[in-house]
Amino acid sequence: MQSTTAIWKTLFWGLQTYAYILLLLPIIVGLVNKKYWNRPLWIIFLYCVANFLLNSLESILIWAVGKYPDVLLPYLDYLSIENTFFLLPLYYLKNFLFISWFYSLIFPILNISTIFKRIGIACAVISLFSFTFIEGYQTFGSINPSLNTIYLVCFGIILPPVYLWLSRLHSIRIPLRKNPYLWISMGLLMQAFTSVLPYLFGTDLYQLNEELYYFSITINLFFNLVGLTLISIGFYYAYYVRFIKLA
């Protein structure tokens, strides 16, 4: 009989096989409806492309090292690279820049929305400074994961329901279910909600409790896939952005 850890591992790798299909889904749906895009949809499209490229780069690197270890390992050893932690700042920058830029454009209260982009840029600068001068690229670190967790809680978990609430207060000439920004916000919420634990504790969680680690990354992957589906629905309703007044 399989252990609970083995079951979560199996579920994780099973979901992983569908990940790349769903990573492409919002990109494909977005391109089909490209003629309706405005700036916020352009930004989310770039976010989805960056998401796909970073995940592909990490997977290709892992595959290449396994396939050609004699060629690549000497270079990795020279650079003291033992894992893919050196790619983490790119994931952080993707979140900091694109999500804050998106919300800076769609929030119905102008004097609040103008702050969002500045917060994203400030987080990106702190992240790069920490990566370059403090923690480096050879460790999971603590500054960047903590900063990203706080950012995701604020921009990924708190802002979507706030946007929903404000959308009901402000005059929008379409039903909420046809509001592409609402679907995209809910997608970002799904992606952020379960990312806190893996981002905050990372490999420490694996060393502390392997079963909890695989449980957390499996649930995180599942909600990421749900989030990508919701973002795709947002692009499906791209036609209706013309009826929504931007900040």
- DSSP letter string, 168-196: HHS--SS-GGG-HHHHHHHHHHHHHHTTH
pLDDT in tens, 36-73: 999 999 999 999 999 999 888 888 887 888 888 888 78
Of 15 and 169, the structure prediction assigns the larger pLDDT to 15
Q: What angle do CA 138, 139, 142 make, to 5 degrees?
A: 145
**Residue 209: pLDDT band with limits 50, 70, 90:** low
Q: Where are the domains of the chain?
A: 4-243
Q: How confident is the model at residue 138 (pLDDT cuts 50, 70, 90)?
A: low
Q: What is the pLDDT of residue 203?
A: 58
The pLDDT assigned to 30 comes to: 96
CATH domain 4-243 topology: Rhopdopsin 7-helix transmembrane proteins (1.20.1070)
Categorize the per-residue pLDDT at 31 as very low, low, confident or very high, splitting at 50, 70 and 90: very high
- How far apart, in whole angstroms, are the C-alpha atoms of residue 90 and residue 137? 11
User: What is the Cα–Cα distance from 205 to 207, expressed in whole angstroms?
Assistant: 5
Could you give the CA distance from residue 116 to residue 111 in angstroms, rounded to a whole number? 10
Of 47-56, 197-206, 216-225, the one with minimum mean pLDDT is 197-206
SS3 state at 144: helix
Share of the chain above pLDDT 70, in %: 85
Q: At what angle do helices 143-151 and 196-208 cross, to 10 degrees?
A: 140
Poorest-pLDDT segment among 43-47, 169-173, 187-191, 237-241: 169-173
CA dist 189 to 8, 151, 196, 233, Å? 23, 12, 12, 14
Look up the pTM and report it. 0.86
Q: What is the mean pLDDT of the chain?
A: 82
Mean pLDDT within 179-192 = 90
Q: How far apart are CA 51 and CA 192, in angstroms?
A: 14
What band does 199 get if pLDDT is binned at 50, 70 and 90? Answer: low
Is the pLDDT score of 196 beyond 90? no
> How many CB atoms are located within 10 Å of the residue 25 CB?
19
**Is pLDDT above 70 for 211?**
yes
Q: Over 90: is that where the pLDDT of 141 sits?
A: no
How far apart are the two ends of the chain, measured CA to CA in Å? 57
Mean pLDDT for 99-127 is 84
- The confidence band for 235, taking pLDDT boundaries of 50, 70 and 90, is very high
